[in-house]
């Protein structure tokens, strides 16, 4: 394994999938690899949990219903029920959080790739300019975000009655 890829670099090897296989069949809600899953969220049945998994994996509600083994009308009805809707929202948030975490893991490699393209005399001029622009935008946005975080910290200290100049 090279120094650019692997556990030390935080960059997964090239053959490591960065996202889940959305074409994989939806797992049975009762067991995965012979292991019984934890109980689904409060008020959600195992069939509904299986439907939530299918909704996250399939591109349409019709395909999600088929994958979960329920009728499309049933799935639409469940989606209007508050308990199911809350569980589905929570699952979507978790899936999105995992995607964001994946992007954080490969961010350094992305910056390194852009930097290599930017300084590569053999790369097309347009690619070099685009890489440079992307790096400048990223740097500016990072500085702005850091500045905003500092301002929020100062405002929170003021609201708590602390000295905003005090370092915690």
* Model confidence pLDDT, tens digit, residues 59-94: 999 999 999 999 999 999 999 999 999 999 999 999
Residue with tokens 């935080």: 10
- pLDDT-derived band at 153 (thresholds 50, 70, 90) equals very high
Confidence of residue 162 (pLDDT cuts 50, 70, 90): confident
**pTM of the predicted model as reported, rounded to 2 decimal places:** 0.52
The dihedral built from the CA positions of residue 160, 163, 165 and 168, taken in this order, carries a sign that is: negative
User: Mean pLDDT over residues 86-111, rounded?
Assistant: 93
161: confidence class by pLDDT, cuts 50, 70, 90:
confident
- Mean pLDDT across the chain: 81
Cβ proximity of 131 and 117 under 8 Å = yes
For the chain, which residues make up each domain, given as ranges?
1-105, 120-168
Which token pair is 95? Answer: 């899936």
Q: How confident is the model at residue 29 (pLDDT cuts 50, 70, 90)?
A: very low
Say whether pLDDT at 33 is over 80: no
For 31, the enclosing helix (H) or strand (E) is strand 31-32
């Amino acid at each position: 394994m090279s120094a650019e890829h692997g556990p030390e670099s935080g960059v997964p090897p090239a053959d490591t999938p960065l996202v889940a296989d959305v074409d994989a069949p939806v797992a049975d809600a009762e067991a995965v690899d012979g292991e019984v899953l934890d109980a689904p969220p409060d008020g959600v049945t195992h069939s509904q949990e299986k439907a939530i998994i299918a909704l996250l994996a399939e591109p349409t509600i019709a395909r999600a219903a088929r994958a979960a083994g329920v009728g499309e009308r049933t799935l639409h009805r469940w989606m209007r029920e508050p308990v199911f809707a809350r569980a589905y929202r929570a699952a979507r948030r978790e899936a999105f959080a995992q995607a964001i975490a994946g992007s954080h893991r490969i961010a350094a490699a992305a910056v390194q790739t852009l930097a290599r393209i930017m300084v590569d005399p053999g790369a097309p001029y347009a690619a070099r300019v685009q890489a440079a622009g992307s790096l400048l935008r990223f740097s500016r946005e990072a500085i702005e975000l850091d500045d905003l975080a500092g301002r929020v910290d100062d405002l929170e200290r003021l609201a708590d009655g602390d000295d905003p100049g005090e370092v915690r």
